Chains A and B, each alone.
Chain A
Amino acid sequence: MGIYIESFPSSSQEVIEGRAIDLANATAAEILSGIQNAGIVGLGGAAFPTHVKLSIPEGKTCKYLIINGVECEPYLTTDHRVMLEQQEDIFMGLRYLIKALSPQKVYIGIEANKRDAFEKLEQYKPLDLAVEMVLLPVKYPQGAEKMLVTAITGLEVPSGKLPIEVGAVVINVATTAEIGRLLPHGRGIQERVITITGPGIAKKGNYLITIGTPLRFILDQVGAEDIKEVFMGGPMMGVSVSNLDIPITKGTSGIVAFKPQQTLENQAEYACIRCGACLDACPLSLNPSQLGILAKNESYDLMASEHHLLDCFECGSCSYVCPSNIPLVQYFRVSKSIVRKRQAKAKS
């Protein structure tokens, strides 16, 4: 008996080393293939292949290139460290990106609680690069692409579309640094900066870690004691792990460990009191309260057709604020997968 594993086409990204890309003479297509060969993906956490993101669809042009220096989640400080320590790589990467996309405007968005990073980048900014640095108010989930595009350009990405619809391409600042570091030498991605934090960690901090390192080994090095819950990513969208014998991937932006005191035990769920906190919290101005009621009634199709379920990017703000402890975003995750399955079935 054998198991045949078929990989999703765009998920395969073979690293090919040794083909240096010379910034001065490279074409846009060569830069894109250089990025693909280096195995670079979005390091903010989504791990979407960067060369795919940079391939502008037919009929669209890139007007705005936005470098995302907004940390994607609370607790995580990887982007912050990268901005403080890798300015030269960031600006080198930016040169490659500008050459590949020829945008009309280039922005770097940073939240106001990272003023030191903002000043450091301002200080190291090459004079010949036309980059506008934007200091943004601190507001989760501003690190989400759509939110950042709106915060910087004022344009709203249409429902169900990607930022390129309004001419914007958003690239994470650590991804940009990686491009600047790897492409001139034709190297492949091997390591990334990971925030390791949480009350269960003795030596909290940002670490440069080789991709593939087992989680258990890392936790041993940083002194993890009495831990009850470990999740990869941030506290709002991160995924709990059931087993420590798993490797770090390119998409691991953080490792957070909670002691038993911090874990949310199963809290009593109360009735929705229509307080409206979730409506105020939803960055897309959806109606999580109504969506939650519909999810309980299993009215999944109505959720998608009338209430924009599929626009929800699961930031978790609704569940965070709900005083009645209703697991709203958890409902939406399940509902979304059911709707997607039904839609796929209807198509085939």
Chain B
Amino acid sequence: MKDQTLQIRTSPHLKRPMATNTIMLHVVLSLIPVMAFAVYSFGITALLLITTTTAACVATEYLLNGKERGKQNIKDWSAVLTGVLLALTLPPGFPLWMAFVGGMIAIALGKFVFGGLGQNLFNPALVGRAMLQAAFPVAITTWTETLVNGRFSHIIPSSLTIPFLEPIKADAVSGATPLSAFKFDKVSTEIQDLAFGFTSGSLGETCAFLIVIGGVYLGVRKMLNWRIPVGILGTVATLTTILYLSDPVTYPSPWMMLFSGGLMLGAVYMATDMVSSPLSTIGIWIYSFVIGLLVVLIRIWGGLPEGVMYAILFGNALAPILDKSIPHRIYGMSSKNQNKNRA
């Protein structure tokens, strides 16, 4: 046998073919139906909004990390995912310059200050949205009607507001979201409208059905921890069923709670962010339960019609505490010594 140059590697010599960039890319891909539906419902305005936040996130990632590292970091697709998710939490007609600021904040304050991907305490997209909600409370709660005529030829005027000026008044009739309609006027929305997205709302929160499909796909491919959406939605469903059965007039139906607002998007795509959720399975269940509980508390007894964002951010803050405080069972350690050795 002739001499050959042999490659020397340390074991293992095999590798599971699932890399971080592949996972992130698949999450983005699974959101394409949701994005497409948003464009169908709200027209080119939605497309502009998604493009704006994504561009803001990618540009911020690139600039903050420096030229070389920035290039490498963008290949992991996480900045794109943050941009897409942020856009999906915003109302159509949201001024684009504000959305751009939101994208920059998501990456800079949500991720970069903690040390980049893997180090962030909170979901970056939600950090961006929380800042926008605090800074622009009116713009972020101005909703437009869905399926408006001419939505593919005309941009919703408020989108093009010049920075730091009063938003242009919308011509279209502002539509209340199902949750605010119920909260303030006790008007329920038909379940089929909620599930298939024929309601007002943020870009990605109207079509719960497509979000579930994306979630199931990621769950089957093991790119998402199924326990989180199941835990959150299960908690919300159980608690609201109890409330609804006790008083169907005061409390919304469980269907309405599950399929309205940002719950589906939050439970499937936001709370499942691997970086900001707990590591251990017990931790995951507690985390999901707390988020579900907070969603119900804020929506029903809080001052806001929607509480998914704050519930998940609170859950994120809880995650490191859960990781530290849940005893980690290590093989071959007697139970007496177990508690000392936490993850």
Contact = CB atoms under 8 A, between A and B. Distances in A.
A316 B16 CA distance: 12
Interface residues of B, number: 42
Contacts of B15: 264, 267, 319-320, 325
A230 B7 CA distance: 8
B192 interface: no
Interface string A69-88: 00000100000000000000
B22 A323 contact: yes
B343 A287 contact: yes
Given A270-B20, A284-B330, A228 B118 contact: no
Contacts of B7: 228-229, 240, 263
Interface in B231-273: none
Nearest to A319: B12
Contacts of B8: 229, 240-242
A272 interface: yes
Contacts of B19: 267-268, 270, 323-325
B332 A258 contact: no
Given A220-B1, A279-B279, A321 B13 contact: no
Contacts of B174: none
A128 interface: no
A190 interface: no
Interface in A194-249: 216, 219-220, 224, 227-231, 233, 235-244
Contacts of A324: 19-20, 118
Contact of A273 (B12, B16, B274): B274
A16 interface: no
B119 A284 contact: no
Contact of B4 (A157, A227, A239, A284): A227
A220 B82 CA distance: 54
Interface in A318-345: 319-321, 323-325, 327, 329-330, 333
A320 B20 contact: no
Interface string B102-132: 0000000000000011110000000000000
Given A268-B75, A321-B16, A239 B11 contact: yes
A158 B1 contact: no
Nearest to A289: B279
B11 A231 contact: yes
Nearest to B329: A285
A18 interface: no
Interface residues on A, range: 35 or more
A161 B20 CA distance: 37
A324 B75 CA distance: 12
B10 A240 contact: yes
A320 B14 contact: yes
B9 A228 contact: no
B235 to A, nearest CB: 21
Contact of A323 (B10, B18, B225, B279): B18
A253 B20 CA distance: 34
A230 B1 CA distance: 14
B325 interface: no
B272 to A, nearest CB: 11
Nearest to B1: A220
B299 interface: no
B328 interface: yes
Given A267-B19, A324-B20, A311 B331 contact: yes
Contact of A158 (B75, B117, B334): B334
The SS class assigned to the B binding surface is: loop
A307 interface: yes
Interface string B274-286: 1101011000000
Given A240-B6, A273-B117, A316-B12, A307 B274 contact: no
Contacts of A275: 23, 274
Contacts, number: 158
A274 B279 contact: yes
Given A156-B331, A235-B14, A273-B117, A224 B72 contact: no
A170 to B, nearest CB: 15
Interface string B2-37: 001011111111111011111100000000000000
Contacts of A284: 330-332
A297 interface: no
A271 B329 CA distance: 26
B76 interface: yes
B70 to A, nearest CB: 14
Contacts of A235: 11-14
B333 to A, nearest CB: 5
A63 interface: no
Interface string A158-184: 111100000000000000000000000
A286 B1 contact: no
Interface string B313-343: 0000000000000001111111001000101
Interface in A266-304: 267-268, 270-276, 279, 283-287, 289-290
A146 interface: yes
A166 B99 CA distance: 63
Most chain A CB neighbours (cut-off 10 Å) among B11, B277, B331: B11
Contacts of A272: 118
A243 B341 CA distance: 43
A308 interface: yes
A149 B63 CA distance: 54
Contacts of A256: 13
A270 B117 contact: yes
B22 to A, nearest CB: 7
Nearest to A238: B11
- Which 7 A/B pairs are nearest by Cβ-Cβ distance? A316-B12, A271-B118, A284-B331, A270-B20, A159-B332, A271-B117, A275-B274
Interface of A: 74, 146, 150, 156-161, 216, 219-220, 224, 227-231, 233, 235-244, 256, 258, 263-264, 267-268, 270-276, 279, 283-287, 289-290, 306-308, 311, 316, 319-321, 323-325, 327, 329-330, 333
15 contacts: A159-B330, A159-B332, A228-B7, A236-B14, A239-B11, A240-B8, A258-B13, A264-B9, A267-B19, A275-B274, A285-B328, A287-B328, A311-B331, A320-B15, A323-B20
